[in-house]
Amino acid sequence: MKAMVQDRYGPPDVLEYREVERPEPGDGEVLVRVRAAAVNAADWHLMRGDPYVARLVLGVRRPKVRIRGRDFAGTVEAVGRGVTGLRQGDEVYGEADAAFAEYVRAPAGAIGPKPAGLTFEQAAAVPLAGNTALMGLRDLGRLEAGQSVLVNGASGGVGTFAVQIAKALGAEVTGVCSTRNAGLVRSLGADRVVDYTREDFTRAGRTYDLVLDLVGNRSLADLRRVLAPAGTLVLSGGGTSEGGSVVGPMALLVRGQLVSRFTDRRVRVLTAEPGRENLAALGALLESGRVTPVVDRTFPLAEAAAAIRYLEVEHARAKVVLTV
């Protein structure tokens, strides 16, 4: 099969489109013929091995997982022993390592039926970003109808889902984004949009029941300043950066963990885990029309390097998707 492979850390040029052995599903696994795969900021960080401290887990000198990609949508090609409820030909979507390929092997518990009415490209855009938004708002933020939420990074992959999910949960939503993305964020249902090039939301005097930070470019003090007395701050890392950092956006997350443990229980750090239950919840929102994936641009699988370059240089809105 064809796949986007990297043998060393570096810029998008390290990715090579070449032939590799097709995986076989093991016990509890499913082999999916990939029809589309989404690009995430995580792919950028993994490709570059940035921040450097992450290489202790990813592979010190070269990546342990040589094929990039995480989100996918496609059709079931084969199922491993012990897998029930899925059969060859089923249309599915989910998360697994090595998704930038013609086939991907995934745990059965990390995939679900593709929502009706969505294209494969739209479905591929959902799993990681949609799950992160859902868990940040519903699980850690415990968002309730009538509460106010601020989404910092509202026009990004996770942010576009967060705005819509927050509205579906009945919240009053403020989205923070750049001038060129204000119209997009409003169209997703945001009640108020803050253009960060013109206004500092941490100095505006407004407070919120929940702040979901998806950027990682503000201090904890700034973010806590806009919390209501019983509000919650959920930190979920950051997007791309200039690269070459030792800890990158992890610094804010580490500080958040320490603060949440010892001084301020209102601060929560999100680690989004894939699961069939959350995919089902997202599927219900998608099929109801309350949430719609926003795809900025698509690229062929062979042009994955260009897609990642577009994500990191052009500051893509919403999701970038590869077609297979």
Task: Name the nearest CA neighbour of 297 among 176, 121, 162.
Answer: 121
> Tell me, what's the pLDDT at 238?
56
Backbone angles phi, psi at 215, to 5 degrees: -110, -45
From-to residues of CATH 3.90.180.10 in the chain:
2-126+293-323
What is the number of other CB atoms lying within 10 angstroms of the CB of residue 16? Answer: 13
Task: Name the nearest CA neighbour of 72 among 43, 101, 90, 93.
Answer: 93
Cα(314)–Cα(299) distance, rounded to whole angstroms? 14
From-to residues of CATH 3.40.50.720 in the chain:
128-269
Residue 23 is classified by DSSP as P
Alpha-carbon torsion angle 7, 13, 19, 20, nearest 10: 30
**What's the token pair of residue 103?**
């086939």
Of the CATH numbers 3.40.50.1370, 3.90.180.10, 3.40.50.1820, 3.20.20.150, which one belongs to the domain with range 2-126+293-323? 3.90.180.10
List the end-to-end C-alpha distance of the chain, in Å, as a whole number.
11
Of the CATH numbers 3.40.50.720, 3.10.130.10, 3.90.190.20, 1.10.287.3510, which one belongs to the domain with range 128-269? 3.40.50.720
Task: Name the nearest CA neighbour of 164 among 194, 133, 192, 188.
Answer: 188
> Tell me, what's the pLDDT at 256?
52
> Tell me, what's the pLDDT at 242?
45
Q: What is the mean pLDDT of each run of 10 residues along the chain (324 residues)?
A: 93 94 97 97 79 67 87 98 95 97 97 96 97 96 97 96 98 97 97 97 95 90 93 78 46 53 70 90 97 97 95 83 97
> Tell me, what's the pLDDT at 240?
46
